[in-house]
A and B are shown apart, each in its own frame.
Chain A
Amino acid sequence: MINLYEVEETNKMVEQENLDVRTITLGISLLDCVDADLDRCLDKIYQKITVSARDLVKTGEEIAREFGVPIINKRISVTPIALVGAAACRTTEDFARIADTLDRAAHTVGVNFIGGYSAVVSKGMTPADELLIRSIPLALSRTERVCSSVNVGSTRCGIDMDAVKLMGEIIRETAERTAGQDSLGCAKLVVFCNAPDDNPFMAGAFHGVTEGDIVINVGVSGPGVVKTAIEKVRGENFETLCETIKKTAFKVTRVGQLVAKEASRRLGVPFGIVDLSLAPTPAIGDSVAEILCEMGLEHVGAPGTTAALALLNDQVKKGGVMASSYVGGLSGAFIPVSEDQGMIDAVSAGALTLEKLEAMTCVCSVGLDMIAIPGDVSAASISGIIADEMAIGMVNQKTTAVRLIPVIGKGVGETVEFGGLLGHAPIMAVNPFGCETFIRRGGRIPAPIHSFKN
């Protein structure tokens, strides 16, 4: 039978170490909403989302209450809208109207974000894909809860450099259109390589075409729990360190599995995956950077950082995989800058640069995330950064992503405040040398050789 010590340990994780279920994300296929008539298409989308997700928020709150574990966000991901709107949309305004509908549906059911204003263009863009991408600045500037992502590369297909070039321009335009809010629109826009179909975390969540009609995906978190656990093994060798992280990740993921199964049962929706990520928030004690410092680094960015992050990411996966029947999504350690107080401190101290972050993305679960850069960085340079990050993902067969925020009107050394979970960030320097001629070439980078395994 459960003993007092075990109960205390669990409750301490929740009360003092910020253990939570970060998100229950309901994935909804909108493929059956396709219609050549835009108004009918919008009606179907609104109906499908509001009916499918009717009880999502209420159920999430009930589960949190009964198990005594906070469930921070309830969210929705939908089929990439480039597919859904292809038959009906002729202009960027048409696509933006779908974004309006998604935003309205999100308000109706009470979710704080809805993801899937997306296009998957690893090899090439259809006219609809390109139109959707061109509508992103408009859509993000006039909606509140819609999140957008574009997958521009994969290990199997290579990198669509035309899309990379376009995304540099789109990120800049989104920044400019939302300049009044410190370019907040860019915080809701992610560029991916090897994007997973079942990611529950925003801003990159979408409901891939490999998925069923409706599915429940759950993202757990708990950097504070891992940090507290490894405080107890200070000075011990790597074997002990790794074992400790693994066991802790197991416990954290079990909570996600339980919540996912329960939500699935109550909503009558199949359970998809648990994403066992360490997702930080700006709260003290909820930081991935603090884990790395606890391992023995003075600041994130110091020599040894990449190795520390590699072992953390791997042990989180090893512990988590056994704890859940289906693991998916991004699963690992996130290293967003603005959402992690330890990362912010490292940048402010001059310990962490964009280049070191890029190295870290080779071994973390995602990529260059929530990084504020000066507002005068050119579209070509942004495309260059995206291309570098996509290449890392393509060659290493992992998901990589870029979420950069060029803050219009601000420069290196200034700070930008996004508020809430999105946090605040010091603006980081970007290498000033150009890459425009490279980006202007157009076409695509072929898939790397290890795609010919079959």
Chain B
Amino acid sequence: MKKAIITVVGQDTVGIIAKVCTYLADNEINILDISQTIVQGYFNMMMIVDRSASKKHFADVAAELEELGTQIGVVIKCQREEIFAQMHRI
């Protein structure tokens, strides 16, 4: 399994999750876990996804999600899970 972490931060609006999930479905990226909160109108979401079935280059996925974020007015980051696992787990 090739895991990635997607974070979405920004002003809450209708359809953020829908748009991100549609993109992921279109690119055969499977969602394993979602946690989401809204603090003072600010939308804060983290997804753990499995990208092993996706045929797209990972750097392109990250760039396209960032672009999608710009369209919705939120900041979307998509990073390989290892960066977090390395830093926070021995």
Contact = CB atoms under 8 A, between A and B. Distances in A.
Whether chain B is bound by chain A comes out as yes
Interface of A: 1-4, 6-11, 62, 65-69, 251, 254-255, 257-258
25 contacts: A2-B84, A2-B88, A4-B44, A4-B46, A6-B87, A7-B5, A7-B84, A8-B7, A10-B87, A11-B77, A62-B59, A65-B59, A65-B63, A66-B58, A66-B62, A67-B79, A67-B80, A67-B82, A67-B83, A68-B79, A69-B83, A251-B87, A254-B87, A255-B87, A257-B86
B81 interface: yes
B19 to A, nearest CB: 20
Nearest to B35: A4
B18 interface: no
A6 B88 contact: yes
A7 B80 contact: no
A9 B89 CA distance: 13
Contacts of B78: 68
B33 interface: yes
Chain A interface, >50% SS class:
helix
B22 to A, nearest CB: 22
Interface in B26-49: 33, 35, 37, 44, 46, 48
B85 interface: yes
A4 B83 CA distance: 14
A255 B84 contact: no
What 4 A-B pairs come out closest when comparing CB atoms? A68-B79, A67-B83, A65-B59, A254-B86
Chain B interface residue number, banded: 20 to 34
A65 B85 CA distance: 17
Nearest to B6: A7
Contacts of B85: 2
B20 to A, nearest CB: 15
Chain A CB within 10 A, most for which of B59, B62, B87: B87
A7 B48 CA distance: 11
A258 B86 contact: yes
Contact of B83 (A3, A8, A10, A62): A10
B34 to A, nearest CB: 10
Nearest to A64: B59
Nearest to B37: A4
Chain B CB within 10 A, most for which of A2, A67, A254: A2
B80 A66 contact: yes
Given A2-B5, A258-B86, 17 more contacts: A1-B33, A2-B84, A2-B85, A2-B88, A6-B84, A7-B7, A7-B46, A7-B84, A10-B87, A62-B59, A65-B62, A66-B58, A67-B82, A68-B78, A255-B86, A255-B87, A258-B82
Contacts of A254: 86-87
B84 A10 contact: yes
B86 A66 contact: no
A322 B77 CA distance: 29
Contacts of B5: 2, 7
